[in-house]
Structure 1
């Protein structure tokens, strides 16, 4: 085995980060770029501030045409993909539990949080398998095991499906040189988190601060005392896709400040 190069360790690697224009996705893209990778980011809207080191593709990944557009453009321009970070995810559903959720609410959550990564994996895996190398990271959520049923039930169900799918995919492709891992963050302090607080506050007729406290209580508290910063999640991803993690596959990594009440 060749010795690892810890300086510029992702040099010559091609990486794609979905949802890479803001929040944790933006932090992950910048972290991989700093390690020497050529990084492509994708989202529906262009980033508010441009970064010449990040190649942007506009696409709506909630539909098959969007995922196929990204696969085609990446392979046509770069010829291959070495690292796929399926970071895109989120919930736009209203609070109130199962009774207020329509088929459309469920279908939208499943398309964004489960089908988008499945389709991208399917699009990029043939090239990875041909070169017998590659890393796929699925960004799930602790809600896959600890759902906030009053506000994000479809999101939680989709992430639970993603965790299960990721493990199954790993069993299938790891023997052929492809590492597949799941990262399940807890609460991350992002713009999307703030919007979720606003929706909860509106639906329950409370303040933003009361909504924040209600989420903390629903999670059972965060022993570390605060949500994660996007850069902290990015640092874990940076390690997992690096040569230092060559023996890691098929595993879920939880980064939640101690929220999940298990040992």
Structure 2
């Protein structure tokens, strides 16, 4: 039986690929035949040395280090998946965000993609092929003003940057696509649900319901699984999606309430 989806022989860089949706994407890409290099600040025991580079991508030198390893070990990248993102900003609305907090959110959610693309996409253009996937967030459309203003703004900037990049490089054979997840059931999100449940004397499932309610509701009734995010990314990265570029794919269980 012929395989519907294959990444056989593709060279892929997947940032933040040690856990959650990033880890699921690394595992799926490897299963589909890709040669994968991933990166984070520290290496988990289960990831071989040959598939990992330790780097802090919030700094320019960390991005340069990763780009150099991609060139040295893989000979370049056919696929780049920018999974890195998150937020450590305090709650309290816009007044709680000083310049340092804004800089941290931009350095984590926008600049790693900008820097790595600048290093690696020109080689894709020269070859006339490649795929760049920027993982954004539905927060760019529906920020939580008490908690995610800076994160949401950084992801909005990433989305706009991604669209602009697609206009420049798609005529040269390089596809650029955005994936916009909602709430993903990761270890961190389960820990949050557990903490909320303990504080309120509720079950973990009720804690999950609290999170979904804070997002305005998730019509499908549950968060996305990391493997479901990986499935979408793998399809977009594959030759099956050969004319998809400049687009954004939302995977949020119906959370965004508008067209």
Asked if these proteins are the same fold (TM beyond 0.5), I'd say yes
Matched, 1:74 2:82: no
Q: Partner of 2:230 in structure 1?
A: 234
Query: Judging changes above 3 Å, is the alpha-carbon distance between structure 1 residues 97 and 207 closer, same or farther for their aligned structure 2 residues?
Result: farther
Q: Partner of 2:22 in structure 1?
A: 25
Counterpart-to-counterpart distance in 1, 2:190 and 2:36: 27
Give the CA deviation at 1:243.
0.7
2:240 paired residue among 237, 244, 254: 244
Give the CA deviation at 1:197.
5.7
Give the CA deviation at 1:192.
3.2
Counterpart-to-counterpart distance in 1, 2:19 and 2:100: 26
Q: Partner of 1:6 in structure 2?
A: 3
Total equivalences in the alignment: 255
Query: Is the contact made by 2:5 and 2:238 (CA closer than 8 Å) also made in structure 1?
Result: no
Give the CA deviation at 1:162.
0.7
Give the CA deviation at 1:262.
1.5
Give the CA deviation at 1:213.
4.5
Specify the SS of the correspondent of 1:179: strand
Query: Is the contact made by 2:29 and 2:234 (CA closer than 8 Å) also made in structure 1?
Result: yes
Give the CA deviation at 1:216.
2.0
Counterpart-to-counterpart distance in 2, 1:255 and 1:22: 19
Where does the alignment leave 5 or more consecutive residues of structure 1 unmatched? none
Counterpart-to-counterpart distance in 1, 2:47 and 2:250: 29
Matched, 1:104 2:62: no
Query: Is the contact made by 1:71 and 1:120 (CA closer than 8 Å) also made in structure 2?
Result: yes
**Root-mean-square deviation over aligned CA pairs:** 2.2
Query: Is the contact made by 2:5 and 2:240 (CA closer than 8 Å) also made in structure 1?
Result: no
Where does the alignment leave 5 or more consecutive residues of structure 2 unmatched? none
Counterpart-to-counterpart distance in 1, 2:100 and 2:207: 25
Query: Is the contact made by 2:180 and 2:248 (CA closer than 8 Å) also made in structure 1?
Result: yes
Specify the SS of the correspondent of 1:162: helix
Query: Judging changes above 3 Å, is the alpha-carbon distance between structure 1 residues 256 and 64 closer, same or farther for their aligned structure 2 residues?
Result: same
Query: Is the contact made by 2:5 and 2:235 (CA closer than 8 Å) also made in structure 1?
Result: no
Deviation string, structure 1 residues 58-104 (Cα, Å, up to 9, x no partner): 00000001000000111012211100000000001111111112211
Specify the SS of the correspondent of 1:40: strand
Query: Is the contact made by 1:39 and 1:54 (CA closer than 8 Å) also made in structure 2?
Result: no
Q: Partner of 2:211 in structure 1?
A: 215
Deviation string, structure 1 residues 134-172 (Cα, Å, up to 9, x no partner): 000000000010101111211110001111111110011
Query: Judging changes above 3 Å, is the alpha-carbon distance between structure 1 residues 176 and 237 closer, same or farther for their aligned structure 2 residues?
Result: same
**After TM superposition, where is structure 1 displaced by more than 3 Å over at least 4 residues in a row?**
5-8, 51-54, 194-199, 205-215
Specify the SS of the correspondent of 1:16: strand
Matched, 1:42 2:46: no
Counterpart-to-counterpart distance in 1, 2:229 and 2:98: 32
